[in-house]
Amino acid sequence: MREYKDIISNNARSGKPTDHARTQVKAPAANIGTDRGYNIDPARTAAFLLKSRAIAVDQLRDSKLYIDDISWHILLDLIVSTDAGTPATALDLASRLDVKTSILSRYIDYMIDSGLVEKYAGGGDKNQAPLRPTAAGNALSRDILQKIGQQFVSI
């Protein structure tokens, strides 16, 4: 079960923006209810997603590493799973990101060679070994995510 963190939304009762960045919902995305009294504006959500992708692309372009959308989402997924204390394997990531295991394995190998991800204790098969971001992976993502987080208030 993945953790999802809500973004800023308008409270339908008061009409004021409400920051739910610290609220953690432990449920698959399909089970997250939309009738909690919040009016989530699809245009604002789309604007946030587009702006966050533009920030990530700009920041990653300056990196000496080649990090595309799949690599970025692997890193994000590992950050969330590590924060939640639930180890993620290549098989887990392939399933969640809807990427073939053989392709995802090549991404993981590249990210390990680049120093962004590491395997740690457990799992005999390389696809079953738990993964986590390295200090470099955390630093890279933290800088980008902080810049994205600053955009919450402007949308």
Q: Which residue has the higher pLDDT, 97 or 3?
A: 97
User: Could you give the CA distance from residue 103 to residue 79 in angstroms, rounded to a whole number?
Assistant: 20
Phi–psi pair at 14, nearest 5 degrees: -105, -20
Share of the chain above pLDDT 70, in %: 72
Residue 107: count other Cβ atoms within 10 Å of its Cβ. 21
At residue 30, does pLDDT exceed 60? no
What integer best gives the mean pLDDT of the chain? 79
Greatest mean pLDDT among 14-18, 135-139, 146-150 = 135-139
Band (70; pLDDT cuts 50, 70, 90): very high
Residue 143, SS3?
helix
| Residue range 45-57, pLDDT digits in tens | 898 889 999 999 9
Report all structural domains of the chain as residue ranges with CATH numbers, in order of start: 64-154 (1.10.10.10)
